[in-house]
């Protein structure tokens, strides 16, 4: 079991590492622990999941994928990677509504932090969750269901790993579908809104060196018309692209309009490519969707600070939802993402500058990435913050799943 996260910027402080092979073993472990936390695939960039007690990987539990054709749902083992689930679903004629940029991320870890893809009509990955099974602080097994537990269920999906150890997740399915991915180059800033709303899932990439977007990645349903060659003043890429200038495109999902199944087009990167560790840090802020142009203008004065420490900045959209701690709670969102260079000393001051410039838009940081926004501002940005704090106290009165970062944002 790795002792560091994928990016290598977090060395886990746990005293003991565990890999239970059954849920019963896991239940005993949690019940006996003073402090415990699960690690998924380690793709987070902060210490939200870092405990000084016991760190548990669920990778040793059975790799269940059970499809319920009547309900059009699938129940999966929490530690499975989205990419593995997706491959099986497609083979059975099904799809998930959306995926993140990397298919190597665990289902439970992704949902716990509000992980998302893009698309004005697509919610984050947690919005597909229909039920969760979790081991709570006293070692009990709890099942919560969207249709039975209503509002409390909405509080538990984006759970920050703080409400229990999720062992199984039930997800809504769609019939499988085909997607074509087109990359357009050099989009003028004034077309930001039109471009973001132009296809099933759209990503805009900028290096902040000019007021234009270097690339637009349009993932559209295969039966939709291709963009015209001079679409919104862009030119069509005539070869596959990587979002980060100068990086090889062979790790990226197929482009140039070649049709293919949803799970081989909606992520940016291919499952077959193994990103063992990343020389990068990431931050991301969810803002009101309608504020795209103003938010970009607010960042312009610090473009000269951002560009030198940036690999690439990506804009995506996420539909509003009802999940209490979802960064998209009650708000159609613009997600402004930064892939930074792998050097916290130079990146953290720029993160602070970005947060200061974005403050007027009530930014909600990605729970799994680098951020330092004042806890009071985070609390104010979430209408259900107090309800989640109460749920935490109710489900984990001993503070078994508490971590330093969680305590900072949800003080006891």
Ligand X SMILES: Cc1cc2nc3c(=O)[nH]c(=O)nc-3n(C[C@H](O)[C@H](O)[C@H](O)COP(=O)(O)OP(=O)(O)OC[C@H]3O[C@@H](n4cnc5c(N)ncnc54)[C@H](O)[C@@H]3O)c2cc1C
Using CB under 6 A as the criterion, which residues of the chain lie in contact with ligand X when the complex forms? Answer: 5-6, 37-44, 48-49, 58, 78, 100-102, 105-106, 108-110, 112-113, 115-116, 160-161, 165-166, 278, 366, 368
Of 252, 282, 245, 255, which Cα lies nearest the Cα of 269?
Answer: 252
- Between 78 and 336, whose beta carbon lies closer to ligand X? 78
- Closer residue to ligand X in complex, CB, 20/231: 20
Smallest Cα–Cα separation from 298: which of 344, 355, 214?
355
Cα-based distances in Å from 16 to 43, 52, 55, 78? 20, 9, 6, 21
CA dist., res. 46 & res. 44, Å (int): 6
What is the per-residue burial (b if ≥16 Cβ within 10 Å, else e) of 120-149?
Answer: bebbbbbbbbbbbbbbbbebebeebebeeb
Quote the least distance from Cβ 222 to ligand X, whole Å: 22
**Residue 63 Cβ vs ligand X, minimum distance, rounded to whole Å:** 14
In the complex, least distance from residue 49 CB atom to ligand X, rounded to whole angstroms? 3
Q: Which is nearer to ligand X, 30 or 306 (CB)?
A: 30
Taking the complex as a whole, how short is the minimal distance between the CB of residue 118 and ligand X, in angstroms? 8
Residue 218: strand, helix, or coil: strand
Tell me whether residue 58 or residue 231 sits nearer to ligand X (CB atom).
58
Give the Cα separation of 331 and 374 in Å (integer): 21
Q: In whole angstroms, how close is the CB of 328 to ligand X at the nearest point?
A: 10
CB of 93 to ligand X, least distance (A): 25
CB nearer ligand X, residue 295 or residue 336: 336
Q: Which of 214, 109, 91 is nearest to 169 (CA)?
A: 109
Rounded distance between C-alpha atoms, residue 349 and residue 313, angstroms: 17
Closest distance to ligand X from the beta carbon of 250 (Å): 16
Tokens standing for residue 401: 């799943």
Closest C-alpha to 348, from 386, 131, 16, 356:
356
Q: Which is nearer to ligand X, 44 or 73 (CB)?
A: 44
Would you say 20 or 161 has its CB closer to ligand X?
A: 161
Give the shortest CB-35-to-ligand X separation in angstroms: 12
Closer of 116 and 289 to ligand X (Cβ): 116
- Which is closer to ligand X, CB of 5 or CB of 317? 5
In the bound state, the residue with its beta carbon closest to ligand X is 109
How many CA atoms lie less than 13 Å away from 175 in the CB half-sphere? Answer: 1
What DSSP line would sit under 130-150, residue for residue?
EEEEEE-TTS-EEEEEHHHHH
Q: How far apart are CA 59 and CA 44, in angstroms?
A: 17
DSSP string, 343-374: -HHHHHHHHHHHHHHHGGG--EE-TTS-----
Query: Which residue reads 């979002």 in tokens?
Result: 243
Q: Closest CB to ligand X among 231 and 285?
A: 285
CA torsion angle 163 363 324 170 (round to 10): -70
Cα separations (Å) of 136 from 144, 163, 388, 397? Answer: 12, 7, 16, 11
State the minimum distance, in angstroms, from the CB of residue 166 to ligand X: 3
């Amino acid at each position: 079991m790795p002792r560091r996260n994928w990016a290598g910027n977090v060395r886990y402080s746990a005293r003991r590492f565990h890999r239970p092979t059954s849920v019963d073993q896991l239940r005993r472990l949690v019940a006996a622990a003073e402090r415990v936390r699960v690690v998924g695939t380690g793709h987070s960039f902060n210490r939200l999941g870092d405990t000084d007690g016991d760190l548990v990987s669920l990778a040793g539990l059975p790799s269940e994928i059970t499809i319920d054709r009547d309900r059009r749902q699938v129940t999966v083992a929490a530690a499975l990677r989205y990419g593995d689930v997706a491959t099986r679903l497609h083979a059975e004629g099904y799809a998930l509504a959306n995926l993140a940029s990397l298919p190597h991320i665990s289902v439970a870890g992704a949902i716990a932090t509000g992980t998302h893809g893009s698309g004005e009509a697509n919610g984050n990955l947690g919005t597909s969750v229909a039920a969760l099974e979790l081991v709570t602080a006293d070692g009990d097994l709890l099942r919560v269901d969207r249709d039975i537990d209503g509002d409390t269920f909405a509080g538990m999906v984006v759970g920050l790993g703080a409400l229990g150890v999720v062992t199984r997740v039930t997800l809504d399915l769609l019939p499988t579908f085909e997607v074509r991915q087109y990359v357009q180059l050099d989009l003028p800033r004034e077309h930001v809104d039109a471009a973001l709303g132009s296809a099933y899932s759209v990503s805009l990439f900028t290096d902040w060196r000019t007021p234009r977007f270097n690339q637009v990645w349009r993932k559209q349903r295969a039966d939709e018309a291709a963009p015209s060659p001079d679409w919104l003043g862009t030119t069509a890429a005539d070869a596959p692209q990587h979002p980060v200038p100068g990086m090889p495109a062979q790790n990226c999902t197929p482009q140039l309009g070649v049709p293919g199944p949803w799970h081989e087009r909606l992520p940016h990167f291919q499952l077959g490519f193994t990103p063992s560790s990343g020389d990068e840090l990431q931050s991301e802020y969810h803002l009101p969707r309608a504020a795209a142009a103003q938010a970009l203008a607010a960042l312009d004065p610090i473009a000269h600070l951002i560009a030198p420490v940036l690999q690439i900045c990506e804009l995506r959209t996420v539909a509003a939802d009802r999940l209490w701690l979802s960064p998209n709670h009650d708000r159609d969102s613009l997600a402004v993402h930064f892939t930074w260079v792998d050097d916290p000393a130079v990146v953290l001051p720029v993160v602070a500058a970005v947060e200061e410039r974005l403050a007027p838009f009530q930014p909600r940081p990605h729970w799994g990435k680098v951020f330092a926004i004042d806890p009071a501002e985070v609390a104010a940005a979430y209408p259900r913050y107090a309800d989640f704090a109460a749920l935490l106290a109710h489900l984990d009165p001993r503070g078994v799943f508490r971590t330093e970062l969680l305590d900072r944002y949800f003080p006891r």
